[in-house]
Structure 1
Amino acid sequence: MNRSRHRALSAGITALTLTFGVTTLTEPAYSAEPSSNGNGANTEQSGGGDGTGIYAAARITYSGSVAKNGGSGNVTSADVNWTPPPCWYAPYLGAKDFKKKMSKDIESQMSAPGMGGHAGAALSELQRHYEDDYGWTDTPGYQDYNVEKDGEGMFWAAVENPDEPDILKRSSCNDLPFWVENGQAPPPQYEEAITPETLAALAYQHMQLPDTEVSLAPEATTKVNLPTWAWLDKAVFDEVQATAAINVPGLNLQSTTTAKPVSLKLEPGTKDAETYPASGECVINDNGSIGEPYAKGKADETPPCGIKYLRSSGEGTFKLQATITWDITWEGTGGAGGDLPDGTFGNEQAVTVQEIQAVNR
């Protein structure tokens, strides 16, 4: 029997048994809710057993620097084609705990009304797979749930990324739970098995970046055809890191994702405006700042980073969008590492633009 049959059995059981929480785990996939109190605090939520032997299918420890001043928010990938993994396989239960849970779930479902025919046969086949060594071409069966090997490995199972909006993608990891010896890699056919790069992507997904509120001169209210200087001090924003880790018997993985600010994009909120430079992209200076603060005597100079509005905002305001682009890299267990897509994060600022009033005598 080939693997496609194995997948069909797994998917069929999930569909037939709404409370069957092994093929797709119902426990939290990971804990990743960094603090956003603006104090640069770290959040650490450790995983591990919950008293029932369940390791929450890789509940991930998250810790990361957050906004040092003001609020914060999640980074957005500049690559619209890149998304964090929708699902993955990770350690779930030891042999004895897995047997206890599976036996209880199967017994409960077998005794439910209407479980004859195909549904009952599927559950019977699943029971044989874990109890009587009934396997398939590339998926060997297990004798008594591998309880003789308890402590020597763990059953791995699929974990859905709760932040993935597409339910089909979330449930695409639909193989039955499988055994992995401590210290060994999962079989190669499980391409979605959790890796340091998976953790790096999850850290990226939950990375908190500081609000992008630029300093302006004139501040808040400016004049038509008057250059408005814009800048960000290095003290306002800096490198941000987020770490995701999984630590369960037989598996210890960790990845740190680092975001470094590289440029500021200004969008005036109206087509009737000019930006400095013309692209609206202000690059980071050697000292880590962006732009240049306005100082007395520079009124006739062109700002290295700024805006000139060509018409009044009337009784309203223009919504200046200031967005920082972050260069994002990661390093993980075993020397793994590399680049992730640039990230962006920004916010709007209200700018009032008034006509210059001329006095005729």
Structure 2
Amino acid sequence: MPVNTPRRTVFSTSTVLFLAVGVLILAAPSSAAKPVNFGKGDDANQQGGSDSTGIYAAAKIQYSGSVAKGGNTGNVTSVDVNWTPPPCWYAPYLGAKDFKAKMSKSIEDSLNTPGMGGTAGSAIGDVQRHYEDDYGWTDTPGYKDYNVDKDGDGMFWAGVENPNEPDFLKRNSCSDLPFWVENGEAPPPQYEEAISPEILAALAYQHMQLPDTKVTLAPAANTKVNLPTWAWLNKTVFDEVQATAALNAPGFNIQATTTAKPVSLKLEPGTEDAETYPASGECVINADGSIGKPYAQGKASQTPPCGIKYLRSSGGGTYNLRATITWDIAWTGTGGAGGDLPDGTFGGQQAITVQEIQAVNR
């Protein structure tokens, strides 16, 4: 097998890959080849189908549990600003015969595209030799005739974009050439972004939908200056939430379930002219799963365990009370894997009218 060549000094692997599949066109020729779909940017909520041989045309992540479906819910936000879900990953893509049909056609179209001569054409030729003639590419062994003699024994894996990643460069950073993985075997260790239970857990975290946080207040939407307003949430209003992400392909089936448990409620009055109970504004969860205590007759002179006191009238408008739940989040996955993820938050706003107490002079 020929010695690997340090092509990355001229073209990065990602650039060569883009050239090979026609998604990056030098000089923008009008007769550019149609890009090959590598699964990037697809609807990741759906799992790919299979052909008559049972080989998956594309293995995609399937989400279940608390996943975006509209209504009064929203995505959890990590309290750790340095933590983000994976922008991309490597996952099973095509069986050997299907990959050969798609990749060889793309390479042929690219080589026949005007403007693809010189270094670019040479790079595409190297990709062709990599899959047809067992030509080693950087640290990746080559393949003889696209491994068609092993069809059904494994799959080619390729980079998949996270469609929810806003940064284009990060989204396209899983750009190594598609590589072969035998059924039941782990991907080569150099592919750190290969799909794993931990990556699935992070994606389940990203797709998790938490219930809107609307606290019960007494007085309700209208209160008075210097009058303590009680706030509480019953256990039945919110409970732990789970979301599962799974990937199934021939010889490769993994999943992870992310669980969020509510731990505290934070009240933000919407004005500096207010006091919170407790002073931090953080109302902890009670032993029975509730937060705060409901107001009852005769408690008007008592200090609420969770609540607000407004010190100034809202005039002709309202204050926007924001109630945010903090959720403790952990995950479990295939093979007994598991661990903690950053706490998450999700909240909502309520309009509060605060009136002056009218005194009568006699």
Secondary structure of 2:12's aligned partner: helix
CA shift digits 1:70-126 (9 cap, x unpaired): 611111111111000001100000000000000111111112221211221111111
Evaluate the alpha carbon distance shift between residue 52 and residue 166 of structure 1 in structure 2; reply closer, same or farther with a 3 A threshold.
farther
Which sits farther off after the overlay, 320-329 or 119-128? 119-128
The 8 Å contact of residues 68 and 237 in structure 1, kept in 2 or not, is answered as no
The 8 Å contact of residues 57 and 159 in structure 1, kept in 2 or not, is answered as no
Matched, 1:28 2:32: no
Q: 2:190 maps to what in 1? A: 189
Q: CA deviation at 1:237?
A: 0.5
Alpha-carbon distance in structure 1 between the residues aligned to 2:128 and 2:122: 10
Evaluate the alpha carbon distance shift between residue 137 and residue 108 of structure 1 in structure 2; reply closer, same or farther with a 3 A threshold.
closer
CA shift digits 1:325-344 (9 cap, x unpaired): 00000000000000000000
Alpha-carbon distance in structure 1 between the residues aligned to 2:267 and 2:171: 36
What residue identity is the alignment partner of 2:36?
A: G
Matched, 1:5 2:8: yes
Q: 1:92 maps to what in 2? A: 93
Alpha-carbon distance in structure 1 between the residues aligned to 2:40 and 2:315: 54
Evaluate the alpha carbon distance shift between residue 276 and residue 27 of structure 1 in structure 2; reply closer, same or farther with a 3 A threshold.
closer
The TM-score normalised by the length of structure 2 is 0.91
Q: CA deviation at 1:58?
A: 3.5
Aligned length: 347
Secondary structure of 1:148's aligned partner: helix
Matched, 1:151 2:152: yes
Which runs of 5 or more structure 2 residues have no equivalent in the other structure? 24-33
What residue identity is the alignment partner of 1:210?
A: P
CA shift digits 1:44-85 (9 cap, x unpaired): x54443789884654111111479996111111111110000
Aligned ranges for residues 162-173 of structure 1 at < 5 Å? 162-173=163-174
What residue identity is the alignment partner of 2:18?
A: T
What residue identity is the alignment partner of 2:278?
A: P
Alpha-carbon distance in structure 1 between the residues aligned to 2:315 and 2:51: 60
Q: CA RMSD in A?
A: 2.3
The 8 Å contact of residues 46 and 59 in structure 1, kept in 2 or not, is answered as yes
Secondary structure of 2:108's aligned partner: helix
Secondary structure of 2:332's aligned partner: strand
Q: 2:351 maps to what in 1? A: 350
Alpha-carbon distance in structure 2 between the residues aligned to 1:160 and 1:242: 20
Matched, 1:214 2:215: yes
Q: 1:325 maps to what in 2? A: 326
The 8 Å contact of residues 53 and 97 in structure 1, kept in 2 or not, is answered as no
Which runs of 5 or more structure 1 residues have no equivalent in the other structure? 32-44
Alpha-carbon distance in structure 2 between the residues aligned to 1:229 and 1:139: 64
Q: 2:27 maps to what in 1? A: none
Alpha-carbon distance in structure 1 between the residues aligned to 2:356 and 2:51: 65
Secondary structure of 1:235's aligned partner: helix
Q: 1:255 maps to what in 2? A: 256
What residue identity is the alignment partner of 1:21?
A: V
Evaluate the alpha carbon distance shift between residue 314 and residue 277 of structure 1 in structure 2; reply closer, same or farther with a 3 A threshold.
same
Q: CA deviation at 1:250?
A: 1.2
Secondary structure of 2:135's aligned partner: coil
CA shift digits 1:288-332 (9 cap, x unpaired): 000001000000000000000000000000000100000000000
The 8 Å contact of residues 247 and 254 in structure 2, kept in 1 or not, is answered as yes
CA shift digits 1:130-160 (9 cap, x unpaired): 0000004521100000000000000000011
Aligned ranges for residues 10-21 of structure 1 at < 5 Å? 10-14=14-18, 17-18=22-23, 19-21=34-36
Evaluate the alpha carbon distance shift between residue 51 and residue 21 of structure 1 in structure 2; reply closer, same or farther with a 3 A threshold.
farther
The TM-score normalised by the length of structure 1 is 0.91
Which sits farther off after the overlay, 130-139 or 76-85? 130-139
Secondary structure of 2:64's aligned partner: strand
Q: 2:125 maps to what in 1? A: 124
Alpha-carbon distance in structure 2 between the residues aligned to 1:27 and 1:208: 21
The 8 Å contact of residues 76 and 205 in structure 2, kept in 1 or not, is answered as yes
What percentage of residue pairs aligned between the two structures are identical? 75
Q: 2:76 maps to what in 1? A: 75
The 8 Å contact of residues 96 and 147 in structure 1, kept in 2 or not, is answered as yes
The 8 Å contact of residues 78 and 345 in structure 2, kept in 1 or not, is answered as yes
The 8 Å contact of residues 239 and 261 in structure 1, kept in 2 or not, is answered as yes
